[in-house]
Amino acid sequence: MSPELLQIGALTKRFGGVVAVNAVDLSVGEGQVFGLIGPNGAGKTTLINLISGHFRADGGTIRFGGTDVTRLRPHELAKRGIARTFQSIRLFKGLTVLENVLLGRYVRSRSDVLASLVPFRAVGSIERDASRAILDRFGLGARADALAAELSYGDQRRLEIARALASEPRLLILDEPAAGMNATESVALSGMLRELAVGGLTIILIEHDVRLVMGACERVAVLNFGRKIAEGGPAEIQADPVVREAYLGSGDDA
């Protein structure tokens, strides 16, 4: 058993009267690709927003790399190695593709403020080289100077992942990365995920595309109405009657 990188205990988030995430326990091992599935409104994205610090938990704890990070803010968590993408792509649209990746490297690069004030000195050339290398790896090298918003939808998704990986994270959280992708793009994404997993990166994958999840993940948790209703290997989950009911509804409704 790999050591646990992320441990979530009794995590709870309420919005008014709605309990979006209800006492969820999860643990994700180092190097694991962990799938998170569930019907719309099950609380998947809320759970991710709690882990990445965009929401404050109302109860429960989050431990990352052995320390309590429950109350840390997004930028502090990014610094500790949690990188994420968003369900509705959040690129810096008016900036270039290269600048987006440079910003992804923010936590890895030293401040060049003082250096930048020295006349005629080139600024940030090392970071530029590193960022170009990342773009090349993602097949976006030729579009480095395009504005992020000028990319095709699939390329925007890829750029967002490239930006997240630029920070050399310990945990990568992907919120529906295949949403809106066509079949070819989805297959390419699946290949990329496998490649990252082989490299030893820990990944949490939220996805509706069940084939993608079952193909890529070693372990899968199922959320419904804010509660974890099942967890196990892909085959186990697919066979689970509770999960089938959550997705398809019970026979009585028909």
Partner 1 sequence: MEELQAFFDAYQTTIGFIGINAILALSVWLTLYTGQLTLGNAAFMGIAAYGSALLTLKAGFPFPLALLCGALLAAAISLPLGATVFRLRGVYLAIATLAFGEVVRVAILAIPITGRGQGLVGIPPKTELWHIFASLLVITYVCARLRISSVGRAWSAIREDEVAAASQGIPVRRYKLAAFVLGALIAGWAGGIAAHFNFAIQPDEYGFARAVQILVFAIVGGIPNVIGPIMGAVVLTALPAVLQPLQEYRDILQGAILVIVIVYAPRGLATLLDVRRAARLRHVGAQDVA
Among 17, 40, 113, 254, interactor with partner 1 by CB under 8 A = 113
Q: How far is the CB of 174 from partner 1 (least distance, A)?
A: 13
Q: Which residues between 57 and 86 bind partner 1 (CB under 8 A)?
A: 73-75, 78-79, 83-84, 86
How far is the C-alpha of 222 from the C-alpha of 203, rounded, in Å?
Answer: 16
CA angle 192, 194, 198 (to 5 degrees): 115
Residue with Cβ nearer partner 1 (36 or 51): 51
- Find, among 54, 56, 27, 161, the residue nearest to 100 by Cα: 161
Of 55-63, 87-95, 133-141, 242-250, which segment contacts partner 1 by CB under 8 A? 87-95
3-state secondary structure of 148: helix
Sorted by sequence, the CB contacts under 8 Å of residue 59 that are 6+ apart come out as 10, 11, 12, 23
Footprint of partner 1 on residues 2-61 (CB under 8 A)? Answer: 52-54
- C-beta separation of 6 from 51 below 8 A: yes
Instruction: Tell which one of 30, 109, 208, 218 touches partner 1 (CB under 8 A).
Output: 109
Residues in the chain: 254
Instruction: Decide if residue 91 touches partner 1 (CB under 8 A).
Output: yes
**β-strands 171-175, 4-15 pairing:** unpaired
Q: Judged by CB under 8 A, does residue 99 bind partner 1?
A: yes
Q: Determine if 117 is a binding residue for partner 1 (CB under 8 A).
A: yes
- Alpha helices, DSSP H, located in the chain: 44-51, 74-80, 97-104, 113-116, 125-137, 153-166, 183-198, 210-216, 234-239, 241-248
Q: Which of 124, 180, 215, 232 binds partner 1 (CB under 8 A)?
A: 124
Which residues 6+ apart lie within 8 Å of 88 measured at CB? none
Q: How many chain residues are in contact with partner 1, going by CB under 8 A? A: 37
- Choose the binding region for partner 1 from 104-112, 219-227, 233-241, 243-251 (rule: CB under 8 A): 104-112
For 217, which DSSP code?
-
Whose Cβ is closer to partner 1: residue 164's or residue 221's?
164
Checking DSSP bridges between strand 219-224 and strand 33-37, what pairing results, if any?
parallel
- 123 near partner 1, judged by CB under 8 A: yes
Query: Does residue number 170 form part of the binding site for partner 1 (CB under 8 A)?
Result: no
Among 10, 126, 133, 149, binds partner 1 (CB under 8 A): 149
**What residues make contact with partner 1 under the rule CB under 8 A?**
52-54, 73-75, 78-79, 83-84, 86, 90-95, 99, 102-104, 106-107, 109, 111-113, 115-117, 123-124, 147, 149-150, 163, 167
